[in-house]
Chains A and B, each alone.
Chain A
Amino acid sequence: MAEGKVKYEPQIYPGKDETSERRRKLWDKRRKLAKYREISDDDITRLLGHRAVGALYPSVHPPLEELIEAYDPIKNIVVPTPGARAGDRIRFVQFADSFWHPPIAPHGRLRLYFNRLRGIDVVAYSGRCILEMRERDLEAAMKMLLETEIFNPARTALKGITIHGHSLRLDEDGLMFDARRRYILDKSTREVVYIKDQMGRVLDNPVPVGRPLSEEECRKLDLAYTWDTHPFKSRTEVLEILSRAAKLRVLAGFNPELLTEEM
């Protein structure tokens, strides 16, 4: 975003409390997310399950440079992503986020993706959030999604299908319920290990994704306002904005000329 004439900095989200601050951080692309673990490129490819490790990227159309397209100046302005340029397929990843102090929630993912990623397609529904991108762009984005503070191996999960479980109690190992048992807690290393890819297909080699975060860490990183972290009373500013938004939408929708500066 270019510098303009007025003094303006994106403010992202209202609120003084820690949860608001947490939301501001995640959704502000100027701020770096803390790295918690490392997952290799090949393991990411395995978890996604869209292509074999080392295989070429299949394409849906020839590279953009080879396409003969009708003249349109707009197409020369916006810079295509590497995946688009190569004509990659559109592939997806879907995350489910537990109710129990997750580092991010579906609606939060949506805003995070909107702010931090280019060329995305995303829909949030209930406890899940799907992200679709060109294949190599998706794999690149997965680094951030799995390695940083927005992933808690125990309470965030890759669930391409059979997503149910985000609102259930955690299991005896503290993991979010998964009807397909894609991940287990390795008792010897204390790490969460994916034994199946996101579609529930058994992996040849299990993929470790790091240790579950401690309860303290979970509370610290929690994106949600809850009674045992930051109850709704601490949301004064957020509530004010939400009620103002609702009121102004109704008034402006009824008669656009009703709104004044005083409102």
Chain B
Amino acid sequence: MKAKTAKETVDLYDDLGNCVGREIPLQALSPLYNPYMREVLDLFKRLAVIDLGKLEVLMKKGMAGWETVVGQDENRMPWYGRDLPLVDRAKEIVERIKEKVEKYGDGEPLVEGAGKYIIVKIPRRMMEISASRDPTLTWTAVALCQAVAETFNMTPETDPDGCNMLKGAVFGRYPQSPEFPPGGPVSTFLKQSNTVDGLGSGFKAIMVNHLVALCNKRTLDAVALTTILEQAAQWEMGNALGWFERYQLLGSAYQGFNANNLVLDLVKENREGTIGDVAYSVVRRALEDGVIKVKRTLPSGYKIYSTNDYPLWNAYTCAAVLAAVIVNVGASRAAQSVSTVIGYFGDLLLMETGGLPDPDAGRVEGTGQGFAFYTHSIYGGAGPGAYTLDHVIPRHGSGFVGPCIVAGMCLDSGTQLFSPEMTSASYFKIRERLPLLHEPLKKVAEAAERIKPEVMKG
């Protein structure tokens, strides 16, 4: 980070325009320092969810070992079916899993029943000695199988086929197939690590709709939560070091945490406007704030703008592309256009400023165009909500695309085939049991406020 900016601060605003953090040093918004972000990231790594209702159906119908989320009836073996009242006896199963897991914890409750769901957090002690975050999946699956076997007295002597069926229903074809059954009864917030490619992409390995559901479709909260994950991934992949630290911090502060109320101002100013209006608004705002200035005027009267602080201009443009998504999807209340706005908004800025780099030096535009291609007509039509952020199409860039997709899905009023209600119903439920994830934008600001003196000292 440039020396002159070590004490650089921003004010953070919530989605009602209230200031929730005044003069927050940029450093306090880094996942490396912000205690709230660290807690959230820790939760995302350690949390697994068991869907007992699902397991009950699988056991009853003898379904196991499918390979795709939409083909879960690939193998049906009703002759091995077992009618186990798992949901009715959820309490007992929770207790048994507790016995196995909680004794390694540091006193915090780790296993919690929530209707037909069970939420399991893996003890820190285990995570610390683990080379990966895999115990979240392995521990939960093993504990579940043991608990069910104990509850219903299933052993190779009493019920050999039932044991096999249980293993198949929970683990699928693992390890012959490297992946647990997609959409199976045990799931983790983040995709299992051996299916994530790209070093440091772990925190991006979550579906857009899950994030939407975890924030109950509150747009700027979902943007903040996504930004925490995206920026953690940027640090993990080494993309926020040295030259890029201030760039990432400013970009995430303005786009993700509504710094200086820029996103909200742009949205309010253009509540009845178009995507283009947002582009012109941000140029005006940057001029007013002295971020850019007229460098020279061409014979036609066209002005070329320049900047001495590109990371800040980038932050303005990243905030603007998010505002443009909100303005456009907010108007149509249909999320499919997210990729289009991401893909072509930068083009308007280039033409308006005489070539000043657009969001993320063009990476947002490039990612958006590819994303648009695969979410429209000839090559696809996939719903933006069903993508994981680490998917090979929307993964590029520096963490400034994900928040836009999530915002778009929050604003959709029911036009999507892959709606959050369809793909992520359990996450709406789980959310109620995870107060940590409520109001993330406010909590980021509060945590930053707490560490402010320390950070200011340097």
Instruction: Using CB atoms and an 8 Å cutoff, list the residues of chain A in contact with chain B.
Output: 1-2, 4-6, 8, 10-16, 20, 27, 29, 60-61, 64, 67, 69-75, 77-81, 83-84, 87, 90, 110-111, 114-123, 125, 130, 132-134, 137, 237, 240-250, 252-253, 255-263
Report the 6 A-B pairs with minimum CB-CB distance, sorted nearest first. A78-B330, A119-B332, A121-B337, A245-B355, A119-B331, A115-B276
State whether the Cβ of B98 lies closer than 8 Å to any Cβ in chain A. Answer: no
B294 to chain A: closest CB distance in Å? 10
Contact between chains at B355 and A244 (CB < 8 Å)? yes
Contact between chains at A256 and B347 (CB < 8 Å)? no
Of A12, A64, A74, which contacts B413 at CB under 8 A? A64
Q: Mark B12-23, 1 if CB is under 8 A from A, else 0.
A: 000110000000
Contacts A61-B414, A64-B413 known; A123 to B331 CB distance under 8 Å? no
Of A5, A77, A123, which contacts B267 at CB under 8 A? A77
Contacts A123-B373, A253-B363 known; A78 to B306 CB distance under 8 Å? no
B92 to chain A: closest CB distance in Å? 34
Expressed in whole angstroms, the Cα–Cα distance for A156 and B152 within the complex equals 70
Contact between chains at B302 and A77 (CB < 8 Å)? no
Expressed in whole angstroms, the Cα–Cα distance for A67 and B307 within the complex equals 46
- A81: chain B residues at CB < 8 Å are 331-332
Of B269, B303, B306, B333, which contacts A263 at CB under 8 A? B306
Of B220, B244, B327, B333, which contacts A256 at CB under 8 A? B244
Expressed in whole angstroms, the Cα–Cα distance for A83 and B334 within the complex equals 11
Q: Which residue of B lies closest to A246 (CB)?
A: B355
Interface-side segment among B161-169, B283-291, B444-452:
B283-291
Of A67, A114, A130, A258, which contacts B377 at CB under 8 A? A130
Contact between chains at A75 and B411 (CB < 8 Å)? yes
A108 to chain B: closest CB distance in Å? 12
Of B16, B337, B363, which contacts A132 at CB under 8 A? B337
Contact between chains at B340 and A123 (CB < 8 Å)? yes
Give the one of B243, B281, B330, B372 with max A CB within 10 A.
B330
Q: Which residue of B lies closest to A81 (CB)?
A: B331
Contact between chains at A255 and B314 (CB < 8 Å)? no
Contact between chains at B376 and A123 (CB < 8 Å)? yes
Interface-side segment among B140-148, B183-191, B211-219:
B211-219
Is chain B's interface secondary structure helix, strand, loop, or mixed overall?
helix
Contact between chains at B274 and A29 (CB < 8 Å)? yes
Contacts A11-B352, A14-B302, A114-B275 known; A256 to B410 CB distance under 8 Å? no
State whether the Cβ of B336 lies closer than 8 Å to any Cβ in chain A. Answer: yes
On chain B, which size bracket covers the interface? Answer: 35 or more
- B16: chain A residues at CB < 8 Å are 73
B368 to chain A: closest CB distance in Å? 10
Contact between chains at A80 and B219 (CB < 8 Å)? no
Give the one of B2, B270, B300 with max A CB within 10 A.
B300
State whether the Cβ of B326 lies closer than 8 Å to any Cβ in chain A. Answer: yes
- A243: chain B residues at CB < 8 Å are 355
A86 to chain B: closest CB distance in Å? 11
Contact between chains at A6 and B284 (CB < 8 Å)? yes
Contact between chains at A74 and B276 (CB < 8 Å)? no
A241 to chain B: closest CB distance in Å? 5
Q: Mark B337-368, 1 if CB is under 8 A from A, else 0.
A: 10010011101101110111110111100000
Of A6, A69, A115, which contacts B274 at CB under 8 A? A115
State whether the Cβ of B89 lies closer than 8 Å to any Cβ in chain A. Answer: no
- B334: chain A residues at CB < 8 Å are 84, 90, 119, 121, 134
State whether the Cβ of B295 lies closer than 8 Å to any Cβ in chain A. Answer: yes
State whether the Cβ of B433 lies closer than 8 Å to any Cβ in chain A. Answer: no
- A29: chain B residues at CB < 8 Å are 274, 276
Expressed in whole angstroms, the Cα–Cα distance for A257 and B435 within the complex equals 39
- A15: chain B residues at CB < 8 Å are 300, 302
- B220: chain A residues at CB < 8 Å are 74
B185 to chain A: closest CB distance in Å? 27
State whether the Cβ of B7 lies closer than 8 Å to any Cβ in chain A. Answer: no
Known: A78-B267, A90-B415, A115-B276. 10 other contacts (CB 8 A): A10-B276, A14-B298, A78-B326, A114-B275, A120-B337, A241-B351, A248-B355, A249-B357, A253-B362, A261-B293
Contact between chains at A252 and B410 (CB < 8 Å)? no
